[in-house]
């Protein structure tokens, strides 16, 4: 097998697309050309290279993946999805602290491939981001981890809870102290509701995200920049895999936190 197998697969969209098509099952050349929208003269030399490296088998009129090809292609999609995540907004990801994401979820970051960025809304500089409000207001169950404070948060969360939304709120110690000192009445009302619970992460010296939100409809992630600032940019996705990824990240921090009960 050629030592440049990675280059062979990834540095040609024609070869990559051909292999991913064969992942669905054996195909004849006419079906391949039609689905890939390629000419015979453009594609056949690429297929020849894949055959020479034992990734593809040509039997009669049909092309199929070899045993090696099945293994290799089975590993390709997560890698391609991971590359898609980082290539979509390279400047954003290059300036984010990724240390708060545990190793097992970094390995699954390809599950965020359908995300988009929520940018700061300059017309609502002093308000909670309107898109943030819209998605949470339309959810029936919300899991939130927050390590930054906004003065409108207490009233907003209390309003959601009063409307019947199930809310599990996990705060960093600094944010919790701000809630307790300046919004004590709202906090007491929140804790005394049947559809709410509150946790505090009081671990010292930990890198933590700015925000993790996982609902029945959406996943939202806020990460601090490398300089330690939060610029109000959020990763958002409504894909089920991304929502599960966000839920697992929320639970990672919730499991390290302690629950606060109503007095």
pLDDT by residue for the chain (263 residues), tens only, comes to 444 766 677 778 889 899 999 999 999 999 999 999 999 999 999 999 899 888 999 998 899 999 999 998 888 888 889 989 999 999 999 999 999 999 999 999 999 999 999 887 766 667 788 888 889 999 999 999 999 988 899 999 999 999 999 999 999 999 999 988 889 898 899 999 999 999 999 988 899 999 999 999 999 999 999 999 998 899 999 999 999 999 999 999 999 999 998 77
At residue 111, the pLDDT reads 96
Same fold, 5-79 and 90-260: no
Question: Which two three-digit tokens encode residue 90?
Answer: 């390279």
- pTM for this structure? 0.82
Write the secondary structure of 116-161 as one string of H (helix), E (strand) and C (coil).
EEECCCHHHCCCCCHHHHHHHHCCCEEEEEECCCCCCHHHHHHHHH
Average pLDDT of the chain, as a whole number = 90
Question: 5-79: which CATH architecture?
Answer: Orthogonal Bundle (1.10)
Interacting residues of 33 by C-beta distance below 8 A, sequence separation 6+:
39, 40, 43
User: For 200-216, b where at least 16 C-beta lie within 10 A, e where not — what string?
Assistant: bbeeeeeebbbbbbbbe
Q: Which CATH architecture has domain 90-260?
A: 2-Layer Sandwich (3.30)
Count CB atoms within 10 A of the CB of residue 158: 19
Indicate the burial class of 154 (C-beta count within 10 angstroms; 0-12, 13-18, 19 or more).
Answer: buried
Rg (CA), the chain: 24
State the pLDDT at residue 2. Answer: 46
DSSP label at 112? G
Q: Is 20 exposed, middle or buried (0-12, 13-18, 19+ CB in 10 A)?
A: middle
Q: How does pLDDT run across 16-25, given as a tens digit for each residue?
A: 899 999 999 9
**Domain ranges, ordered by start, for the chain:** 5-79, 90-260
């Amino acid at each position: 097998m050629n030592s440049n197998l990675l280059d062979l697969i990834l540095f040609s969209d024609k070869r990559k697309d051909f292999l991913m098509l064969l992942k669905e099952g054996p195909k004849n050349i006419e079906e391949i050309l039609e689905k890939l929208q390629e000419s015979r003269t453009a594609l056949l030399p690429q297929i020849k290279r894949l055959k020479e490296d034992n990734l593809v088998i040509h039997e009669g009129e049909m092309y199929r993946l070899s045993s090696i090809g099945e293994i290799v292609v089975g590993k390709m999609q997560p890698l391609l999805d991971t590359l898609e995540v980082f290539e979509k907004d390279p400047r954003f990801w290059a300036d984010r602290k990724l240390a708060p994401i545990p190793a097992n979820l970094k390995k699954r970051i390809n599950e965020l491939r359908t995300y988009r960025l929520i940018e700061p809304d300059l017309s609502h500089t002093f308000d909670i981001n309107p898109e943030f409000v819209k998605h949470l207001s339309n959810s029936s169950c919300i899991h939130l981890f927050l390590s930054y404070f906004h003065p409108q948060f207490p009233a907003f969360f209390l309003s959601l809870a009063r409307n019947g939304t199930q809310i599990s709120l996990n705060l960093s110690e600094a944010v919790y102290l701000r809630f307790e000192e300046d919004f004590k009445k709202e906090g007491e009302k929140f804790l005394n509701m049947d559809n709410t619970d509150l946790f505090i992460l009081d671990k010292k010296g930990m890198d933590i995200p700015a925000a993790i939100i996982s609902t029945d409809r959406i996943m939202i992630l806020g990460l601090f920049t490398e300089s330690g600032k939060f610029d109000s940019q959020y990763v958002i996705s409504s894909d089920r895999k991304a929502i599960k990824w966000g839920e697992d990240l929320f639970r990672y921090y919730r499991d390290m936190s302690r629950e606060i009960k109503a007095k």
